[in-house]
Structure 1
Amino acid sequence: MKTSLSLILCFCITLEANAQNNITPSPIIFIYDASGSMWGQMQGQTKMEIATEVLTTAISKLPDNQKIGLVAYGHRKEGDCADVEFLVDAESGSKAEVITSIKGIKPLGKTPLAYSASQVIDKLRQTKLSATVILITDGIESCDGNICNVIKAAKEEGIDFKIHIIGFGLKSGETGQLQCAAQAGNGYYYDASDADGLSDVLQQATAITIDKPEGNVSVYAIKNGIPIDAWIKAYDIVAKRRPISVRTYGDTAYFYLPPSKYNFEVRPLGGSDVDMITIPNIESFEDKMVHQTISFDGGILGITTTNNGKNWDCIVKLFDANNKMAAYVRTYQTPKEVEVNPGIYKITVQALAMNGTETKTQIKDLTIIAGQSTPVSYDFKTGNFQIYTKAGNENIDAVVTVKETSTGTRVASSRTYTKGAKFLLNPGIYEVKAAPLGEHKTKAAQTFTVEVRQGELTTKEIKF
């Protein structure tokens, strides 16, 4: 009897699981921009070509039982703000129908965002459907509507939908009304600046449907306690799904990650010089909110480079523990500051406009601490060597080469051009060779040694 009950229980659980897996998800309705501006170029293609390719790929990856609707605007009449058409019905539309319709759309007219949204809302009101609406636009409202007000009114009325809005190639100052509308519609506003960006945000928008929780992960990015705008990419390290992205816009960002483990790549978009931060092994759950506060508090490296105690122009490079260059700065004879992630670094300093074997130095195991300033200074040493080449009492042109004697390293060369040549050299003993040019080129070159002392000028006159 116990065995029979166990079998019946297992059978019932299996039926319930299968029933849940076979539940038809609520429709996704795409509002597609077919305004004339979609003929604009991006990455060597029109925006319409990119959007068509990316959207059809995203739709092809949706579950086979996903109902899909398609609405287009601006595709039939050039100046008509009422040019909105339901191309595929959300209650019966298939992936194949939507893909075929998308490929047949040609951009032409205006951008009636508010009116197109109101038409979809009217349809939902009539059919009593719950739906996820995804609006893709490369431009702002051009028909005097306000999509944010439309969405707010629909939500107050109780229409059951979630709307995500994707700005394709929009400028930062153009997104305010769209962000407002997405927030009012319990959805998200996404920026997409190219084909890859559009693919990323479409994957996320189609995953965060009205059937899913409002979000099971929240992320907040700060620098010195102040919220900053950041871009987060979540990489599924178990199921290896395509990365899911979200932007914080200086606030807490909520998004849905299917239960799994993720590595987060978080990149500040403003207010910080700090590079991308990777946060490993973030676990998401279906029924529990996971929160991450990500601090971009960097450490400040103060750099002062001098020559004989005076500010000097140098190239400074900072390398992390993996020998990856974390910062590059040129001092231009001025102390500089650079912000980097906390950690241990190696610094190389290359002095410019000086010659010798000590024009570059390296500082190892420099510790940068978050919120603190770490000063680094280095003083190079030099002296001047000036040479004049003459025939009789007349200055003549000659080629002068300078070698450091202990290593035999050639450190400098120049022509005198009848006015002499001057070299800024590290202190030391050098072998100098002068070879006359022009009408005196048949005369034998002369070689001699010279000692250069720090802060002093050494002058030599050679007669041929």
Structure 2
Amino acid sequence: MKLLIPLFCALGLIFQTSAQEQKAPSPILFIYDASGSMWGQLDGKTKKEIASEVLATAVNNLPDNQNIGLMAYGHNKKGDCSDIEFLVDLQNASKSQITNAVSGMNALGKTPLARSAALAINSLKNSNTKATIILITDGIESCDGDICDVVSTAKTEGIDFKLHIVGFGLKESETEQLKCATDAGGGTYYDASNASGLSEGLTEATSQTIDDPKGNFSIFAAKNGKPVDAWVKIVKADTNKEVDGTRTYRDTGWVYLPPGKYKMIVNPLENTKIKGTTINIESIKDKIGHKTVSFDGGKINLLTLNNNEGWDATSKVKTQDGEVVGGSRTYGRTQTIEVNPGTYDIEVMGLRMKGLETKYTIEDVIVEPGKTIEVSHNFKTGIAMIGVKSGETLVDAVVSIKEKISGKNVAGSRTYTSNSSNPREFILNPGIYEVKVSAVKKEYAGKKETFTIEVKQGETATKIIHF
């Protein structure tokens, strides 16, 4: 019998661990707008029909162990600011009970947003329950309340909830109080102008629950001082593994990032002329991070030099992922390149010069919105003059030049028999080179010579071969 006791204890521990792993998520409470304005039409359907269908889809996509409650306002009486009712208790696990209640609901009354939020939050306080509240409304407060004040006060009292609001067909000028409420309630305001937008908003809202880790890094996207709706994806800097993501909805989006370095990929969901951008960010332990992503252009003033003097070169401006987003030929003068804000590598290649250092990458150039950054690179070269003669006669010959240590071919040409090309000028990076000269014409057939020559920065080394 004594042997069985440890076995039962072990089994009990296993069952307890299993039960903890299968613990149901905190409940979601929908507050549904059944005010008279829901009879208004969008795309040939009433907002009431659209909301009912979209909410049914969102509810049916929830996990089977998700408890779901429902509150509605305006569904019984016209002009009554107290027409607010709990229709389905938070302990409910039946999806059909929610969808049936919504589909059979009338739309009659006013829009008591503050009173509805207060009733919902007080129910959580009285039952000592934490929950995600999702308010769907097509109108603004019509009963002299302030939902932002209600939510802010509740948070100071320590009531544990997250509030999302999906604004259905609202004007931008009508959303200030709603955004204030979601900011205070640790959630997001989602703007929906049609069925698709409502679906996206509810999908996002039901996935960002009170059980998620609290966001510790915020993102705001803008262009010309105005908010931009954008999708944000966060990946680990070293592995590119996706960690988190959010949508800004022309507001502030939040993600949770453990301490470390990340790439933030931001793609606008409006104004197709705006290109996405990738920005390096870092999350620091016990600190709230923030990044404002401005799609206002920033400028790079690029200057390429050779031996401290202006020099012609080509350039490519690349994102951290290697995408070329800009470039220019410098012609030895400062060239201005405009790109989205972000961190870039600039690859420059000096023209007319030869050697192992004719290309250079200027790394991690940070471009900020509305600002200009000065960037330059100074190449180093010297000159080798290679000529071929027979007596006083110029000899046409092929010249091949290798960098001596690496053995890499870096330059080649012909001298011909003109004073303008014989001796032939080679602009080379400083170093020691192996030069092979081979005569071209029959009267000098078989004539060749190999030698080394040292090229120093800013100096000219001349070598004349005599056949």
TM-score, normalization by structure 2:
0.54
Which whole-Å CA distance do the structure 2 matches of 1:263 and 1:195 have between them? Answer: 33
- Paired residue type of 1:200: E
Distance 2:54 2:210 in 1: 22
Q: Which residue of 1 aligns with 2:310?
A: none
Alignment of 1:72-91 (within 5 A): 72-91=72-91
Q: SS of the counterpart of 1:87?
A: strand
Match of residue 183 from structure 1: 183
Root-mean-square deviation over aligned CA pairs: 5.0
Q: Separation in 1 of the partners of 2:77 and 2:49?
A: 20
Q: In structure 2, what residue type is equivalent to 1:232?
A: W
Seen in structure 2, the aligned counterparts of structure 1 residues 230 and 341 have a Cα distance that, compared at 3 Å, is same
> Partner amino acid for 1:246?
R
> Cα deviations across residues 434-456 of structure 1 (Å, max 9, x unaligned)?
xxxxxxxxxxxxxxxxxxxxxxx
The letter of the residue matching 1:247 is: T
Maintained 8 Å contact 2:230/2:270 = no
Specify the alignment match of 2:57 in structure 1. Answer: 57
Q: Following superposition of structure 1 onto structure 2, how do residues 63-74 of structure 1 map, counting pairs within 5 Å?
A: 63-74=63-74
Deviation at 1:43, TM superposition (A): 2.5
**1:246 corresponds to:** 247
SS at match of 2:187: coil
Q: How much has 1:122 moved relative to structure 2?
A: 2.8
Identity %: 50
**Structure 2 residue matching 1:106: 3-state secondary structure:** coil
Looking at structure 2, the residues matched to 229 and 279 of structure 1 have their Cα atoms a distance apart, in angstroms, of 17
Cα offset for 1:70? Answer: 0.2
Aligned residues: 314
Task: Assess if the C-alpha contact under 8 Å between 2:29 and 2:70 holds in 1.
Answer: yes
Alignment of 1:80-159 (within 5 A): 80-159=80-159
- CA gap of 1:267–1:138, structure 2 versus 1, over 3 A, is farther
SS at 2:274 equivalent = coil
Match for residue 298 of structure 1?
Answer: 297
| Distance in 1 of aligned mates of 2:55 and 2:153 | 29
Encode CA deviations 1:349-374: one digit per residue, 9 max, x unaligned: xxxxxxxxxxxxxxxxxxxx96569x
1:280-291 maps to which residues of 2 (within 5 A)? none
Distance in 2 separating the partners of 1:13 and 1:275: 54
CA contact (8 A) 1:112 1:145 kept: yes
Question: Are 1:33 and 2:26 an aligned pair?
Answer: no
Q: Which stretch has the larger CA shift, 267-276 or 77-86?
A: 267-276
- CA distance in 2: counterparts of 1:244 and 1:104, whole angstroms: 36
Residue 268 of structure 1 and its aligned partner are, at CA, apart by 4.9
In the alignment, is the contact (CA less than 8 A) between 1:266 and 1:276 conserved in 2?
Answer: yes
Residue 173 (1) aligns with residue 209 (2): no
Q: Against the structure 1 CA distance between its residues 233 and 162, is the aligned structure 2 distance closer, same or farther, given a 3 Å change threshold? A: same
- 2:32–2:71 Cα contact (<8 Å) kept: yes
Q: CA deviation at 1:19?
A: 2.4
1:330 matched to which residue of 2?
none
Contact 2:227 2:251 in 1 (8 A): yes
Q: Is the 1:220–1:248 Cα contact (8 Å) retained in structure 2?
A: no
TM value normalised by structure 1: 0.54
SS in 2 for 1:78: coil
Structure 1 SS opposite 2:215: coil
CA distance in 1, matches of 2:187, 2:143: 23
1:232 matched to 2:236? The reply is no
* Aligned CA distance change for structure 1 residues 250 and 29 (closer, same or farther; 3 Å): closer
Superposed displacement of residue 159, structure 1: 2.4
CA shift in 2, pair 1:227/1:108, >3 Å: closer
Paired residues of 1:230 and 1:266 also in contact (CA < 8 A) = no
Q: How does 1:4-23 map to 2 (within 5 A)?
A: 15=15, 18-23=18-23
CA distance in 2, matches of 1:234, 1:195: 24
Q: Is the 8 A contact 2:190 2:249 kept in 1?
A: no
The Cα of 1:129 is off from its aligned counterpart by: 1.7
Q: Which amino acid aligns with 2:230?
A: W
Residue pair 1:204, 1:244 contacting (<8 A) in 2 also: no
Change in 2 beyond 3 A, CA 1:250/1:30 = closer
Quote how far apart the aligned CAs of 1:276 are: 3.7
